[in-house]
Structure 1
Amino acid sequence: MGTKWRKLKSTLASNLCVYVPTVETEDSPPHSDGFSGAALLSPSPSPAPASLRLRLSRSFNRSSKKTCTICLASMKRGEGQAIFTAECSHSFHFHCITSNMKRGNQICPVCRSKWKEVPLQGPTNPGQPLGRTRINPVNWSHDNSVMTLLRPIPPRHAAAPIRPTPEPTVFNDDEPLDVKLTNKTSSENANLKRVLVKTYTEVQAVPRFSSVNDFTVLIHLKAPASVSGVGPTFNLNRTPRAPVDLVTVLDISGSMAGTKLALLKRAMGFVIQNLGSADRLAVIAFSSTARRLFPLRKMTDMGKHWALQAVNSVVASGGTNIAEGLRKGAKVMEDRRESNPVGSIILLSDGQDTYTANGNGKNELKHELLLPQSTRSKQCDDGNSGVNVPVHAFGFGADHDACSLHSVSEISGGTFSFIETESVIQDAFAQCIGGLLSVVVKDARVVIESVNTNVVIESLKAGSYKNQLAADGKSGSIDVGDLYADEERDFLVSLNVPKELTFNETRLLQVKCRYADVLTEEMVNLECVNIGVKRPENVSEEVVSVEVDRQKNRVQAAEAMVQVRAAAEEGDLARAVSTLEKCRRVLSGSVSAKSGDRLCLALDAELKEMQERMASRQMYEASGRAYILSGLSSHSWQRATARGDSTDSSSLVQAYQTPSMVELLTRSQASLLGGPSGQRPVRPIWPFASPKPR
């Protein structure tokens, strides 16, 4: 009997995985839109893998004995709170379980077994029979009548119905912000690090009496590091940063039941624990309908406590109404009375939207009609185009709608990540949050102008960033938007180089950059950077810039991905594979590949992985499409995304990572494996410095 009971407890523990803080308060939680504070988890339809079951059960066993599963606060003896132990052996704070019973819950919040008797707060009739379920008061008398009363559960027909509290029609109940950041003095501002702008030409010299078309110039931006500037390591706990407004829109449909939901809750617990007291969080959950579980509140100790209760209250059931969930998340952002400097929406779904049908009757998410104005790219009064609220979408598993989620993220200015393995949900969230918690630049804009009457700008290669080119080719602009600390951006400008008759150098372009510093709230206008090329009479040896060649390879690989996706969607996998092979051959013959450039090697490995995921139509549908779209999102925005199983050690996962992302990823992996030495920290694969050609 004992062995069976231990196996049962291990199975239950594998489906309950919560990230629990220590909160030293007994205040009641705020309005949570009618959701119970109990951590109700649906049993998994199939057992979890042995390794995962062992990891989660150990984690749960360490915390559940010392933590009340309802309020998630400490449950140690000697703290002045009574402990109730139910007939199924699970323990809770007495006042928590009695409050839970008042809501109509008649089952154990942990194992979901039905109780024959439940605790009753307050005196009862003397003649009412009492059961013998154990109550373990701490620093209370065992004869205290308030702490020893139990009542039998009435028949189901006699129980009062539970009516959830109606949601407000306007979500303007966001918690007020703290005093706004004060601007630093001008002397302090002068010492702040600023965005670095560098430029490179594809070759340093062009023969004087020759003209060149499609000449490439690289414009490189690098955001400042942490304001503290202490060494190369970014520390989120010690670095001044802009506070964040974050809305998470989470899929809790029936397909999320069991281990998926448990790991999603654990991932959300990690996010909550790593937000600062000035950051604000709201939680939207959707299945057949969408509901706001938690209003936009600051993540103080009590705020984190309430947020964890809200997240752990959900139960997976129903269909998948992504559109309604995202609309409600966007409405939270629209209706808020005050706004933190950084705002973002995180959307996670593991299925197809089953409530938004097109004209043909097919279930297809109409992404072009889905997003309200608050999450679309808009034209500002000063002509600068910026994204107000980006949506970072996460497609989970083999059945999600990768095309729609990718489109939603593209429209809003966010990224699309593909989570292939459920065990890496937390890592994917950690990488994204690590970036959001380190924004140092807002509304950055680059302006390029020709400074030579004979020089015409032919094209701008800016990926998904909105860019404009004047009809006469004399000027152009790129709207870069927000930058994380130490984040880099590279843009390619194609132009013509005219013949030169009188000078030893031809002036080509002038580059300007302006942006808003999120800490000082001041607009920064950087000094103009002039670009020219030397014009000797003869060039004995043409030296190609590795920096320019590297970025040309990146752009070429991204363009190949677009072609591959189009061919695959048409059902022509052979043409898609042929396109990938051709691109890989071109990359392998480039200057940067021959010099051992790590970006070029990573691109080749990525294209090879895509090729393997197109071995059959079934494989493409299950993972190939999502893998390609997440790669496109990463390269077009030059921002890190999760791709496939991000626990592997390949360089693909680490593309575009910043120090703050690395720190959060390391924390996540350490928390999952039980210690900081559990896994090798993830590091960025290509720093700004690169091998120089010989």
Structure 2
Amino acid sequence: MGGKWRKAKLALGLNLCAYLPRTLDDDDDGERLSDAALLPPSNWENMVSSSHGLRLSKSKSKSSQQTCSICLMKMEQGGGHAIFIAECSHSFHFHCIASNVKYGDRIYPVCRLKWKEIPIWSPGLDPLPSRASMDTVGWSGHDALMDVVDRLPTTHWDENRQHAVPVFRCAEPGVFNDDESLDHLHVIAESKNYTDDTSVTTMKIETYPEVSTTPRSRTYDDFTVLVHLKAAAAIATRNPSPSIHYASLLQSRNHRAPVDLVTVLDISASMSGTKLALLKRAMGFVIQNLGSNDRLSVIAFSSTARRLFPLRRMSDLGRQQALQAVNSLVAHGGTNIAEGLRKGEKVMEDRTEKNPVTSIILLSDGQDTYTVYGTGMNKSQQNYELLVPPSMHSGDNTGFHIPVHAFGFGADHDASLMHSISDISGGTFSFIETEIMIQDAFAQCIGGLLSVVVQELQVCVECMNPSLCLGSLKAGSYPSNLSADGKTGYIDVGDLYADEERDFLVSVKVPAESAACETSLLKVKCVYRDLLTKGMTTSESDIIWIQRPEIAEHEEISIEVDRQRNRFRAAEAIAEARTAAEQGDLIGAVSILENCRRVSSDTVSAKSHDRLCVALDAELKEMEERMASRHVYEVSGRAYILSGLSSHLWQRATARGDSTDGSSLVQAYQTPSMVEMLTQSQAMLLNSPSTQNLFQPLWSSQPKPR
């Protein structure tokens, strides 16, 4: 039994990017795993399985002089990296072992010998867990691990903050203007090759009046027109070969808008154990999928926040250094989300150069324990805006706007806070209910960020008939406004991912016609920055007309308009139900959702079994079930509802509950690039030969079903 359990632990350790020490149940022969975590998938083939778990291949272990045992990269004299030879005669890159021993670990990761002399010791943000804290995750029985913990530097107790803090801390620059320079010529040259040889249609505009024919004598106070936008049309090349899909072109690392990404990660004590290991694995996936022109910075926060990794390009060296920074994360302390956000904002604000796409990813599994952000017991009354730096607000007119994509991890996070942060900044909120889903949630998010094709998108809707005026604009969370005379309306959309769609409902007051056979309604114009051509572009729709015969025998309702009415109705019902639930009226909240389902079921689109309507009904039913009791609502209902609300109001895919596979309405907002990245994440484990070999004995040992 011990051998099988060891194999399971090793498999989990490999795929969670965590080192698992040997225990008394393990055999003494065979080589041990390296402490190197977050190895890129390309290096997994250098590892082979044995009856005792995973070990380095013999060719690697016998040639430690040529290969660093931590990063598994070649070591060559004169290659630009210092080589350190330890007392045990093993050699490795100096920066690799310096990172490995930064917390005072004097145990060499391969031979496990105790060192007397170590490289320059540069302690990080927090110390490794103490023996007492390890008891909470069930590791106190692992003598090998606890021996290492006992050798770590001591901590002292901060009476003011009521948490343990490390004695030593690294100095942090006062201004984060040390971001790595961008290779502008490289990016422009690659984009120019395509813009010279292609004809690009970046934005497609379609409009649908609720009816195409209506009697001449009829008046409308709220005649509805659907404005449908879609980014990423096809690119027709000069070659006779089939057209190249725009999304595929920009998804390529070399032919898309590069990204500046800051990850703000919760490493409080509640993140210890499996959570932190899963976070490291997810971050490893993100790092491996960023291109050489993308830049990444890592902020870790617990009771305080610290920049662990400056804004660096994800070149081969940059990835290696970023992986080492993530691997150094240690769970400890309280939860200071506001400080983490402020640090992330500072990285973005102080940078000397800027990539076209910028975003912050925020992950937390707990409640903010350091910031007073409002009074009163009702979460809906708390002022979460105090947590978000003013320059990050989406409505801020300073021109510095960075969306925060927030991820609530587990059952104990503050969903109201995380949703508010994302909504205020123009980002999305995802609920990661099952721990193992964290990598998929990150994958879906960066699949979108790595495919941005449109920025600064503003939609202008203009009345084309002097007798008409606009009634309202239904745009969800997107800022919108009407001119004083009601003739023009504006919607600020911002960024669009490749193949991403947006639907807005425009209400128009239509008078009766005396003799005209048709009435002109609206015209839609989109102004945006095309990230392929790098210039401002304008796209316009045709004028929208409706026929006005004297008598109209049958007014056929547009399925497209009716479908979007149901979506907006559902979003409004979800918001109303959430308010009732926060006030303690769960029965009333469920009643609101049931009434919405009943009304929607009588619509034309629902009766035609429209896919969107079916998904909406299933989602509302799921929300009702998560309001079955106060306990269920507190544990998962609130977060599930808020992630769904975020998705509807921004019309963008979010992770909800324990799934990102489109089992509810997620699929309606997923783009091909999101699906591709999500599929890659889900296939990573299955496509690893070493992991397949490791699990094969476990599978084969199980009795076959009869």
| TM band (smaller chain) | 0.7 to 0.9
Contact 1:512 1:529 in 2 (8 A): no
> What is the CA deviation profile of residues 142-185 of structure 1, one whole-angstrom value per residue up to 9, with x for unaligned ones?
xxxxxxxxxxx9999999x9733211111110000002543749
Q: 1:360 to 1:487 in 2, by over 3 A?
A: closer
In structure 2, how many angstroms separate the alpha carbons of the residues matched to 1:525 and 1:117? 67
Q: 1:565 to 1:109 in 2, by over 3 A?
A: farther
In structure 1, how many angstroms separate the alpha carbons of the residues matched to 2:397 and 2:597? 41
| Counterpart mapping for 1:325-340 below 5 A | 325-340=340-355
Kindly state the Cα deviation for residue 590 of structure 1 after the two structures are TM-superposed.
Answer: 1.0
Q: 1:207 to 1:64 in 2, by over 3 A?
A: farther
In structure 2, how many angstroms separate the alpha carbons of the residues matched to 1:238 and 1:359? 43
Say which of 337, 341, 344 aligns to 1:322: 337
My pick for the range that moved more, 326-335 or 175-184, is 175-184
In structure 2, how many angstroms separate the alpha carbons of the residues matched to 1:458 and 1:189? 44
Contact 2:99 2:328 in 1 (8 A): no
Residue 591 of structure 1 corresponds to which residue in structure 2?
604
In structure 1, how many angstroms separate the alpha carbons of the residues matched to 2:153 and 2:336? 32
In structure 2, how many angstroms separate the alpha carbons of the residues matched to 1:156 and 1:605? 52
Q: 1:452 to 1:283 in 2, by over 3 A?
A: same
- Is 1:169 equivalent to 2:174 in the alignment? yes
| Counterpart mapping for 1:605-644 below 5 A | 605-644=618-657
Residue 218 of structure 2 corresponds to which residue in structure 1?
210
Kindly state the Cα deviation for residue 367 of structure 1 after the two structures are TM-superposed.
Answer: 2.6
In structure 1, how many angstroms separate the alpha carbons of the residues matched to 2:492 and 2:375? 37
> What is the CA deviation profile of residues 280-334 of structure 1, one whole-angstrom value per residue up to 9, with x for unaligned ones?
0000001111110100000001000000000000111111111101110111001
In structure 2, how many angstroms separate the alpha carbons of the residues matched to 1:157 and 1:496? 72
- Is 1:432 equivalent to 2:445 in the alignment? yes
My pick for the range that moved more, 299-308 or 386-395, is 386-395
Q: 1:626 to 1:226 in 2, by over 3 A?
A: farther
| Counterpart mapping for 1:205-244 below 5 A | 205-225=213-233, 230-231=244-245, 234=248, 236-237=251-252, 240-244=255-259
My pick for the range that moved more, 369-378 or 530-539, is 369-378
Say which of 536, 540, 550 aligns to 1:523: 536
SS at match of 2:418: helix
My pick for the range that moved more, 290-299 or 470-479, is 470-479
- Is 1:178 equivalent to 2:187 in the alignment? no
Kindly state the Cα deviation for residue 520 of structure 1 after the two structures are TM-superposed.
Answer: 1.6
Kindly state the Cα deviation for residue 447 of structure 1 after the two structures are TM-superposed.
Answer: 0.8
In structure 2, how many angstroms separate the alpha carbons of the residues matched to 1:494 and 1:428? 36
Contact 1:377 1:412 in 2 (8 A): yes
In structure 1, how many angstroms separate the alpha carbons of the residues matched to 2:642 and 2:678? 22
In structure 1, how many angstroms separate the alpha carbons of the residues matched to 2:522 and 2:626? 43
Residue 292 of structure 1 corresponds to which residue in structure 2?
307
In structure 1, how many angstroms separate the alpha carbons of the residues matched to 2:302 and 2:676? 33
SS at match of 2:184: coil
In structure 2, how many angstroms separate the alpha carbons of the residues matched to 1:220 and 1:98? 55
Say which of 543, 554, 561 aligns to 1:548: 561
Contact 1:38 1:312 in 2 (8 A): no
In structure 2, how many angstroms separate the alpha carbons of the residues matched to 1:275 and 1:218? 36
- Is 1:74 equivalent to 2:91 in the alignment? no
In structure 2, how many angstroms separate the alpha carbons of the residues matched to 1:491 and 1:319? 42
Kindly state the Cα deviation for residue 233 of structure 1 after the two structures are TM-superposed.
Answer: 7.2
Structure 2 residue identity aligned to 1:14: L
My pick for the range that moved more, 353-362 or 600-609, is 353-362
Residue 454 of structure 1 corresponds to which residue in structure 2?
467
Contact 1:356 1:363 in 2 (8 A): no
Q: 1:457 to 1:77 in 2, by over 3 A?
A: closer
SS at match of 2:540: coil
Residue 399 of structure 1 corresponds to which residue in structure 2?
412
In structure 1, how many angstroms separate the alpha carbons of the residues matched to 2:86 and 2:10? 20
Q: 1:607 to 1:239 in 2, by over 3 A?
A: farther
Structure 1 residue identity aligned to 2:267: I
Q: 1:16 to 1:360 in 2, by over 3 A?
A: farther
SS at match of 1:197: strand
| Counterpart mapping for 1:346-495 below 5 A | 346-358=361-373, 360=375, 366-378=383-395, 388-495=401-508
Residue 192 of structure 1 corresponds to which residue in structure 2?
200
Normalised by the length of structure 1, the TM-score is 0.79
Q: 1:480 to 1:361 in 2, by over 3 A?
A: closer
> What is the CA deviation profile of residues 406-465 of structure 1, one whole-angstrom value per residue up to 9, with x for unaligned ones?
111111100000000000100000000000000000101111111222211111000000
Q: 1:197 to 1:360 in 2, by over 3 A?
A: closer
SS at match of 1:577: helix
Q: 1:570 to 1:39 in 2, by over 3 A?
A: farther
Residue 28 of structure 1 corresponds to which residue in structure 2?
none
Residue 43 of structure 2 corresponds to which residue in structure 1?
none
Kindly state the Cα deviation for residue 238 of structure 1 after the two structures are TM-superposed.
Answer: 6.4
Say which of 659, 681, 687 aligns to 1:646: 659
Structure 1 residue identity aligned to 2:217: F
Contact 1:464 1:637 in 2 (8 A): yes
Contact 1:442 1:515 in 2 (8 A): yes
In structure 1, how many angstroms separate the alpha carbons of the residues matched to 2:295 and 2:648? 30
Residue 663 of structure 1 corresponds to which residue in structure 2?
676
Residue 45 of structure 1 corresponds to which residue in structure 2?
none
Long gaps (5+) in structure 2:
19-33, 39-48, 120-148, 156-165, 238-242, 692-706
> What is the CA deviation profile of residues 350-406 of structure 1, one whole-angstrom value per residue up to 9, with x for unaligned ones?
00000012565989885312222431224659xxxx772100000011110111111
Structure 1 residue identity aligned to 2:182: L
Kindly state the Cα deviation for residue 252 of structure 1 after the two structures are TM-superposed.
Answer: 0.6
In structure 2, how many angstroms separate the alpha carbons of the residues matched to 1:566 and 1:407? 14
SS at match of 1:264: helix
SS at match of 2:332: coil
Kindly state the Cα deviation for residue 611 of structure 1 after the two structures are TM-superposed.
Answer: 0.5
In structure 2, how many angstroms separate the alpha carbons of the residues matched to 1:652 and 1:13? 33
Residue 344 of structure 1 corresponds to which residue in structure 2?
359
> What is the CA deviation profile of residues 30-76 of structure 1, one whole-angstrom value per residue up to 9, with x for unaligned ones?
xxxxxxx97699xxxxxxxxxxxxxxx99x95576669999752179
Residue 14 of structure 1 corresponds to which residue in structure 2?
12
Structure 2 residue identity aligned to 1:198: E
Contact 1:279 1:299 in 2 (8 A): yes
| Counterpart mapping for 1:84-163 below 5 A | 93=92, 99=98, 103=102, 105-106=104-105, 108=107, 117-118=114-115, 120=117, 163=168
SS at match of 1:666: helix
Q: 1:449 to 1:71 in 2, by over 3 A?
A: farther
In structure 2, how many angstroms separate the alpha carbons of the residues matched to 1:217 and 1:155? 69
> What is the CA deviation profile of residues 89-126 of structure 1, one whole-angstrom value per residue up to 9, with x for unaligned ones?
xx984867864687562354879x9x67326589xxxx
Long gaps (5+) in structure 1:
21-36, 42-56, 123-152, 679-694
> What is the CA deviation profile of residues 238-264 of structure 1, one whole-angstrom value per residue up to 9, with x for unaligned ones?
672100000000001111111110010
In structure 1, how many angstroms separate the alpha carbons of the residues matched to 2:578 and 2:150? 60
Normalised by the length of structure 2, the TM-score is 0.77
Structure 2 residue identity aligned to 1:549: D
| Counterpart mapping for 1:303-318 below 5 A | 303-318=318-333
My pick for the range that moved more, 354-363 or 536-545, is 354-363
In structure 2, how many angstroms separate the alpha carbons of the residues matched to 1:327 and 1:503? 60
In structure 1, how many angstroms separate the alpha carbons of the residues matched to 2:260 and 2:167? 32
Contact 2:106 2:115 in 1 (8 A): no
Residue 574 of structure 2 corresponds to which residue in structure 1?
561
Structure 1 residue identity aligned to 2:105: Q
